[in-house]
Amino acid sequence: MNAKPNYIVAAAFSALATIGFTSGLKASPRVADLRPAAHADSATFAGGCFWSMERPFQHVPGVLSTSVGYTGGHTTNPTYEQVNTRRTGHAEAVQVVYDPSKVSFDNLLDVYWHNIDPIRRDAQFCDQGKDYRTAIFYHGAAQKSAAERTKAQLQPRFKQPILTAIEPAAIFWRAEEYHQHFADRNPDHYNAYRRGCGRDKRLHELWGSAASPYVPVS
């Protein structure tokens, strides 16, 4: 079944018409450049709906850019529709390009952990399926070590095991343009989806005052 309710899908495509994007943009390959500028690093996170995962990072000081897309799968140039069948093996993810002199990977991990439910397997909030799994796709040994360390530090908080995977970064396929910065471009549609999904309620149950469920436009 589609992970997002039909009214959410309809709202999303209504928004596409408003801002002038079409599915024709998916025709050309969308491999994201994993080689940031000399002063920048990349981080890649999967945490369920990529609309919801992009917004917290794109407003962090020191973050230079964010893109949503698909990674961790076995097909080439996947589309949203293909990923949503759960047959490509990809997860919805966000790629963050950041200036490490202004924000550390540990800071980004803190944002990440407090915006996911790490004890759900192959699902996040109302979205079900392996494409909504949680994972940290590390770029190098330092990121791997930091991810493993913070995961171990957080484990005592939960009775259930943390199920978030820690995997080497794979090809990141940039999603169709209408998905990029969707929450900021389409706040009414996005906020209806977020409320219906119960994301904020669950994040506060998990993290209490440390939850960071929503970062407003600055």
- Each domain of the chain, given as residue ranges in start order, spans 6-210
Told to judge if 197 belongs to the known catalytic residues of this protein, a careful annotator would answer: no
pLDDT at 139 over 80: yes
How far apart CA 1 and CA 135 sit, in angstroms, is: 22
How far apart CA 74 and CA 171 sit, in angstroms, is: 10
pLDDT at 19 over 50: no
Compute the average pLDDT of residues 83-112. 96
Task: Return the pLDDT at 23.
Answer: 36
Angle at 48 between CA 46 and CA 51, to 5 degrees: 95
Compute the average pLDDT of residues 22-42. 58
pLDDT at 195 over 80: yes
Q: What global pTM score does this model have? A: 0.83
Task: Return the pLDDT at 68.
Answer: 98
Task: Return the pLDDT at 4.
Answer: 57
pLDDT at 12 over 80: no
pLDDT at 156 over 80: yes
How far apart are the two ends of the chain, measured CA to CA in Å? Answer: 36
Fold of 6-210: Peptide Methionine Sulfoxide Reductase; Chain A (3.30.1060)
Task: Return the pLDDT at 16.
Answer: 40
Is 180 or 59 the better-scoring residue by pLDDT? 180
Three-state DSSP state, 2: coil
Three-class DSSP labels, 87-151: CCCCEEEEEEEECCCCCCHHHHHHHHHCCCCCCCCCEECCEECHHHCEEEEECCHHHHHHHHHHH
Task: Return the pLDDT at 15.
Answer: 43
Task: Return the pLDDT at 211.
Answer: 83
Out of 8, 46, 49, 93, which one is annotated catalytic?
Answer: 49
Compute the average pLDDT of residues 170-193. 95
Mean pLDDT over each residue of the chain, to the nearest integer: 85
- Place 203 in a pLDDT band, splitting at 50, 70 and 90: very high
Compute the average pLDDT of residues 51-77. 95
pLDDT at 27 over 70: no
Q: Are 149 and 155 in contact (CB under 8 A)?
A: no
Compute the average pLDDT of residues 119-130. 96
- 170, 86, 180: which is closest to 136 by C-alpha? 170
Compute the average pLDDT of residues 39-62. 94
